[in-house]
């Protein structure tokens, strides 16, 4: 296992450097433990359709932390991951930005159980899991507002006004996409302000961060 951890760390460093993403050495053990737990839980719960560990490293971990390219301020920002699923991109962003205050919004109770277990087992601070659909979450009396909202595996076409309601005045929504937003694409109450394109390492595909603001 120790050899596996060392090999994983070396691969992670190399892949992150290919996208010029700085990572703290302290986060590597968290990513490795995440991978181990994800692999174990995935046998009982359908957390991800990808079961190859290297592919998980690139398509889930590296792709998730690419979101740092669209985050301007790393100091105690509050971030909401909508449709967090198995924790992508929210948890990888938390690992590389330890001061992040993170809320994981995931309606599936099984996936929520995995997320809560992971947060506890890794001793993560300032991370909460909310088991609700987006519309239910927005309707809560005590709901928070956020500096950033990230969306990776959730259809948002009809949800712009809901996302806007959850943003602080200068907040931003970051959509993880495979291609730029098409002409005519709209998110109600939000405007497209930036698109950042990149290639995943090992020819795993083209990706785009589409950034919206009020």
Whether residue 71 is contained in a domain is answered as: yes
Cβ proximity of 103 and 146 under 8 Å: yes
Whether residue 147 is contained in a domain is answered as: yes
Note down the domain range covering 74. Answer: 63-213
- pTM as predicted: 0.96
Question: What is the number of other CB atoms lying within 10 angstroms of the CB of residue 210?
Answer: 23
How many residues belong to the chain?
A: 214
Structure confidence at residue 141 (pLDDT): 79
And the tokens for 131? 């088991």
CA angle 105, 109, 112 (to 5 degrees): 50
CATH number, domain of 179, equals 3.40.50.150
Number of domains the chain contains: 1
Whether residue 21 is contained in a domain is answered as: no
Average confidence (pLDDT) per 10 residues, the chain, 214 residues = 83 97 95 96 91 95 97 89 97 97 96 97 97 94 92 89 96 97 91 97 97 95
Whether residue 142 is contained in a domain is answered as: yes
SS3 163: helix
Whether residue 46 is contained in a domain is answered as: no
CA angle 20, 26, 29 (to 5 degrees): 100
Whether residue 14 is contained in a domain is answered as: no
Whether residue 36 is contained in a domain is answered as: no
DSSP 124: -
Whether residue 202 is contained in a domain is answered as: yes
The strand pairing partners of 199, in sequence order, are: 206
């Amino acid at each position: 296992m120790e050899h596996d951890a060392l090999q994983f760390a070396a691969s992670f460093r190399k892949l992150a450097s290919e996208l010029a993403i700085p990572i703290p050495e302290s986060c590597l053990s968290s990513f490795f433990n995440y991978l181990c737990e994800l692999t174990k839980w995935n046998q009982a719960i359908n957390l991800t359709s990808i079961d190859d560990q290297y592919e998980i490293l690139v398509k889930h971990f590296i792709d998730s932390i690419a979101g740092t390219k669209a985050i301007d301020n790393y100091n105690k920002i509050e971030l909401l991951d909508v449709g967090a699923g198995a924790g992508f991109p929210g948890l990888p962003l938390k690992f590389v930005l330890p001061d992040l205050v993170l809320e994981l919004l995931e309606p599936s109770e099984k996936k929520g159980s995995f997320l809560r277990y992971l947060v506890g087992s890794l001793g993560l601070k300032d991370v909460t899991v909310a088991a609700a659909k987006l519309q239910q979450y927005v309707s809560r009396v005590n709901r928070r507002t956020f500096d950033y909202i990230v969306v990776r595996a959730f259809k948002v076409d009809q949800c712009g006004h809901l996302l806007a309601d959850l943003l602080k005045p200068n907040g931003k929504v970051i959509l993880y996409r495979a291609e730029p937003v098409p002409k005519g694409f709209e998110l109600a109450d939000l405007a497209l302000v930036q698109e950042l394109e990149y290639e995943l390492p090992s020819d795993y595909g083209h990706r785009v961060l589409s950034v919206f603001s009020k």
